[in-house]
């Protein structure tokens, strides 16, 4: 695709743009030399463009074979490489950097998610410990001291009996 095609110029507009750029010659031989020079330069440009396209195609094929990339990933790598102003020989390095960055982002996200889960787990454990230390039973009975101290088994049994009697009332 040429710049004119990219810019959306019609063939008539392209011809008009080229006609404006052509100087006038007094000698017909000078005109022929200039036309031939332009044709040669255009040919050289097409050959250079074809070689560049072949190199890019070869580099893209190499990336696909080496890393198993899909078309979207290839476009992203080529776009990033062009944006950075690097040559096509840098495509593998750019892909590796992009893959490393994606892996690192995924790892950071996973770590953050694990930390969030652990924070929630600790909060739930603290809440459960608060309920248990409160002494509220399954039936929502009266709270008992968290760590009652009795001087004998008889005192402990008597306290338990008193608590059961208090719940019945």
Q: Each residue of 28-84: pLDDT tens digit?
A: 899 899 999 999 999 999 999 999 999 999 999 999 999 999 999 999 999 999 999
Q: What is the pTM of this model?
A: 0.51
DSSP secondary structure letter of residue 136: -
Residue 137 predicted with pLDDT over 60: no
Torsion (CA) 93, 99, 101, 105 in degrees, nearest 10: 180
Q: Each residue of 102-126: pLDDT tens digit?
A: 999 999 999 999 999 999 988 888 8
Q: What pLDDT was estimated at residue 128?
A: 75
CA distance 47 to 40: 10
Of 104-108, 119-123, 129-133, 134-138, the range with the highest mean pLDDT is 104-108
């Amino acid at each position: 695709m040429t710049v004119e095609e990219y810019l959306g110029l019609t063939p008539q507009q392209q011809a008009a743009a080229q006609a404006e750029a052509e100087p006038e010659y007094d000698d017909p031989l000078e005109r022929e030399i200039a036309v031939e020079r332009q044709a040669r330069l255009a040919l050289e440009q097409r050959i250079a463009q074809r070689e560049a396209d072949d190199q890019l195609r070869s580099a893209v094929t190499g990336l696909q074979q080496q890393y198993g990339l899909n078309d979207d990933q290839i476009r992203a790598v080529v776009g990033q490489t062009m944006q950075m102003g690097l040559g096509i020989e840098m495509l593998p390095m750019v892909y590796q950097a992009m893959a490393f960055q994606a892996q690192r982002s995924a790892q950071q996200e996973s770590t953050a998610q694990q930390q969030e889960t652990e924070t929630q787990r600790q909060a739930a454990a603290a809440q459960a410990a608060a309920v248990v230390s409160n002494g509220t039973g399954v039936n929502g009975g009266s709270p008992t001291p968290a760590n009652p101290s009795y001087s004998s088994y008889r005192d402990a049994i008597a306290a338990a009996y008193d608590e059961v009697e208090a719940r019945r009332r």
